[in-house]
């Protein structure tokens, strides 16, 4: 007989923290243990991620920024005037600035992000720099669904950073299909990290300064801060590796010793070497991504790649049916 133990969470926790608590406990009860990478991004996690983006080993951000800088004019021409830009996982909104600067009179900018406090800060800064642009931040976990206000202009999705890589191929397909629905006939500009030398991929997720390790461990720090858990982050190792067979980086937190942790009234036990899988980051070939996009009902119309073939940006339009 299987018994389901209920998760006891403090009713006073805000809804976002209740989601985190329930998913964390369920993920730690499961085998293999796993937690969704979306929970990295509290205010501190978003700040650590911004530091990752500056690391010498972490090529994706600077490569994508260079692509946006170089080709923003072509992208803007394909997008057309008067568009309403919906950004999925907007973070610091740094990349969209390059796009907004090239667009002719964007109608409105809707940054969607799971980290609400971080989002509002970024929206304020953007308003200051783009007077006249309507900015409507939406604090939401779009993996759970998204309700957008009525469109003011032709909708265009912006999904940079290769966040699509966090989803396994089946989930990525469903997410792109749902995005097509939210965009209601509009196109999608999406950044995708590419398959490359495993050593370079390994280095990008194992930086010398240990920022990625701190980002990974922040999940435990966040659980302590937000849920009153008692993880000792120093008792977990950051472990990240590239698995070429499935073309993905896997990130784990590996228990350094036998230990137990209390989380929302539940005792969680780890043996030395037990791992919590915290992230997948899938890498694509250009063809592989185009196939995924077509399967989701999009037609790939344009694609920009840097000279080293490190990173790609794809312009997808809904396929005619
Ligand atoms: C934001 C999901 C694109 O997978 O490269 C960076 C997150 N994790 N270093 C990535 C991340 C560790 C990043 N994405």
Average of per-residue pLDDT across 202-207: 98
Protein residue whose Cα sits closest to atom 2 of ligand 1: 163
Q: What's the pLDDT score for residue 283?
A: 98
* Residue spans of beta strands (DSSP E) within the chain: 33-34, 84-88, 108-113, 138-139, 155-159, 188-193, 236-243, 248-255, 259-263, 266-270, 275-282, 298-305, 311-318
Residue-averaged pLDDT of the chain: 95
Tell me the pLDDT band of 3, cut-offs 50, 70 and 90: low
Q: Which whole number is the average pLDDT over 285-306?
A: 98
pTM (two decimals)? 0.95
Check if 205 has its Cβ closer than 6 Å to any atom of ligand 1: yes
Best CA proximity match to 204, nearest among 297, 129, 276, 310: 310
**Model confidence pLDDT, tens digit, residues 257-290:** 999 999 999 999 999 999 999 999 999 999 999 9
Structure token digits, residue 1: 């007989």
How deeply is 195 buried, as exposed, middle or buried, from its count of CB atoms within 10 A (0-12, 13-18, 19+)? middle
Please give the average per-residue pLDDT across 47-69, as a whole number.
97
User: Which of 118, 165, 201 to mutate to test ligand 1, by most ligand atoms within 8 A of the CB atom?
Assistant: 165
pLDDT in tens, 116-158: 888 998 999 999 999 889 999 999 999 999 999 999 999 999 9
Asked if 265 and 173 touch (Cβ cutoff 8 Å), the reply is no
Name the residue of 48, 94, 161, 204 to mutate for ligand 1: max ligand atoms within 8 A of Cβ: 161
**If you average pLDDT over residues 49-72, what whole number do you get?**
98
The larger pLDDT score, comparing residue 6 to residue 114, is at 114
Which pair of tokens denotes residue 75? 């992208």
Computed from CA positions of residues 72, 114, 194, 170, in that sequence, does the dihedral angle turn out positive or negative? negative
Ligand 1 touching residue 163 (CB < 6 A) = yes
CA dist 121 and 137 (Å) reads: 10
| Whole-angstrom distance, CA of residue 68 vs CA of residue 61 | 11
The pLDDT tens digits of the residues spanning 66-105 come to 999 999 999 999 999 999 999 999 888 889 999 999 998 8
The pLDDT confidence band at residue 42, using thresholds 50, 70 and 90, is very high
Q: What is the pLDDT of residue 238?
A: 99
- The pLDDT of residue 6: 62
Q: Of 4-18, 150-164, 245-259, where does mean pLDDT reach its minimum?
A: 4-18
């Amino acid at each position: 007989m299987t018994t389901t133990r209920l998760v006891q969470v403090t009713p006073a926790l805000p809804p976002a923290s209740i989601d985190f608590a329930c998913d964390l406990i369920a993920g730690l009860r499961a085998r293999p243990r796993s937690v969704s990478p979306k929970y990295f991004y509290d205010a501190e996690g978003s700040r650590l991620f911004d530091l990752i983006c500056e690391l010498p080993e972490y090529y994706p951000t600077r490569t994508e920024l260079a692509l946006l800088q170089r080709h923003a004019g072509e992208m803007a021409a394909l997008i057309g005037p008067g568009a309403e830009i919906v950004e999925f996982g907007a973070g610091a909104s740094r990349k969209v600035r390059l796009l907004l600067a090239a667009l002719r009179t964007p109608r409105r900018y809707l940054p969607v992000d799971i980290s609400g406090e971080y989002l509002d800060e970024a929206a304020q800064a953007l308003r200051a720099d783009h007077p006249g642009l309507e900015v409507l931040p939406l604090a939401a976990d779009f993996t759970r669904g998204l309700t957008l206000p009525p469109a003011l202009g032709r909708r265009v999705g912006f999904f940079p950073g290769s966040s699509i890589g966090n989803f396994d191929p089946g989930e990525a397909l469903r997410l792109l299909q749902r995005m097509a629905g939210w965009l209601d006939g509009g196109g999608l500009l999406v950044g995708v990290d590419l398959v490359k030398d495993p050593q370079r991929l390994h280095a990008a997720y194992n930086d010398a300064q240990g920022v990625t390790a701190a980002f990974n461990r922040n999940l435990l720090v966040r659980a302590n801060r937000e849920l009153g858990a008692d993880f000792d982050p120093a008792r977990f190792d950051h472990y990240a590796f590239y698995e070429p067979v499935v073309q993905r980086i896997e990130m784990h937190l590996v228990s350094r010793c036998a230990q137990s942790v209390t989380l929302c009234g539940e005792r969680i036990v780890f043996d030395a070497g037990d791992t919590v899988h915290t992230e997948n980051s899938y890498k694509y070939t250009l063809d592989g991504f185009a196939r995924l996009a077509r399967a989701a009902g999009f037609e790939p119309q344009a694609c920009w790649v840097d000279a080293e073939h490190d990173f790609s940006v794809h312009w997808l339009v809904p396929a005619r049916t």
